[in-house]
Amino acid sequence: MNQLFSPYSLKGLELKNRVVMPPMCQYSVTEKDGIANDWHYNHYVSRAIGGTGLIIIEMTDVEPDGRISDYDLGLWSDEQVPALARIVDAVHQHGAKIGIQIAHAGRKAEDAAVPVAPSAIPFDEKSKTPRALSTDEVKEMVEKFRLAVRRAVQAGFDTIELHGAHGYLIHQFHSPLTNQRTDEFGKDLTLFGREVIQAAKSEMPADMPLIMRISAQEYVEGGYGIQESIAISKAYQEAGVDMFHISAGGEGPIAAWGRPGTHAAYQVPLARDIKQALDVPVIAVGRLDEPVLANAVIGNEDADLVAVGRGMLRNPFWTLEASVKLGQGNVIPQQLITGFPRS
């Protein structure tokens, strides 16, 4: 029977447990050059020491104006590779595997003078109105994703995650709320995402899995729901996605009537539905920081991996403490053993 501390493998990715640190922006690139610094190094390496199976580095952008803020990470330049490679090497030394989330914020790029998007539709009344990308610019954007993935592979990452959720650029293309184009990228809402996937796969080793994060439900008036997201995911699966990271929301101001309470495990049913519909591995996320609950998600086969966000922000040793609570025998580093008394 699978449990939170059962090993897991997907293609060439072999994890010692099912615990994932999901990508969470730190907004800590103080030099505004997209280069990871000591904060990022300590932040991610400490979670590797803390027993996490898979760490996914925060949203890392394919061009300067693709950042949510100028304090975000980037992979638009070869100069940004060494600092990430340093993190990768250290994480590996502590027995964890590491991925990186490649993205573009699109119309949600707050510090861009004029953000770009599929269509010239602002996020809300306080946001800048974006400029619609030309067809040629969309194709150039696919190339920027490809080059960012190439650099991520050079840095030594074990897996790549494409950010197709939370109202960022890929999500903007596959949502009818934000894609009102009349060209080929408007007639087929998944075309941009599929081309990005194929570009990413062209740079990745054959045994490296590609993860895509999606919002399985938009929770805005007129937004898509689970059936539409299953169809979107199927198109992406056929294009080459190996695993989906299932989140929700982000494409507009949340309608009060349209979203369930953010109770524990509120997004797990979405992950289960996509897993079952497509027979594809999934990562569940969202209020799963109680170890017994996280273990149940794996044991009940609702998901293959569990991402613990807020819990891991509070405690880099969340995974070690969960192993003790669950009695599943994760190895406590010798240097920390006196802090984890055995019952």
**64 close to 76: Cβ distance less than 8 angstroms:** yes
Q: What is the pLDDT of residues 52-99, one digit of tens each?
A: 999 999 999 999 999 999 999 999 999 999 999 999 999 999 999 999
Indicate whether this model's pTM tops 0.75. Answer: yes
Single-letter code of the amino acid located at 78:
D
Q: What is the pLDDT of residues 139-165, one digit of tens each?
A: 999 999 999 999 999 999 999 999 999
92 burial level (CB within 10 Å; 0-12, 13-18, 19+): middle
Single-letter code of the amino acid located at 56:
I
Using CA atoms, how far residue 96 sits from 55, 70, 230, in Å, is: 7, 29, 31
Tokens standing for residue 300: 């009940």
pLDDT band, residue 260 (cuts 50/70/90): low
327 burial level (CB within 10 Å; 0-12, 13-18, 19+): exposed
pLDDT band, residue 258 (cuts 50/70/90): low
Q: What is the pLDDT of residue 59?
A: 98
Q: DSSP string covering 203-216, please?
A: HS-TTS-EEEEEES
Helix (H/G/I), strand (E/B), else coil: 228: helix
Q: Which of 71, 79, 84 is nearest to 26 (CA)?
A: 71
Tokens standing for residue 191: 């075309």
Say if residue 255's pLDDT is above 90.
no
Tokens standing for residue 30: 């103080």
Calpha distance 219→90 (Å, rounded) = 39
For CA atoms 226, 160, 68, 111, the dihedral sign is: negative
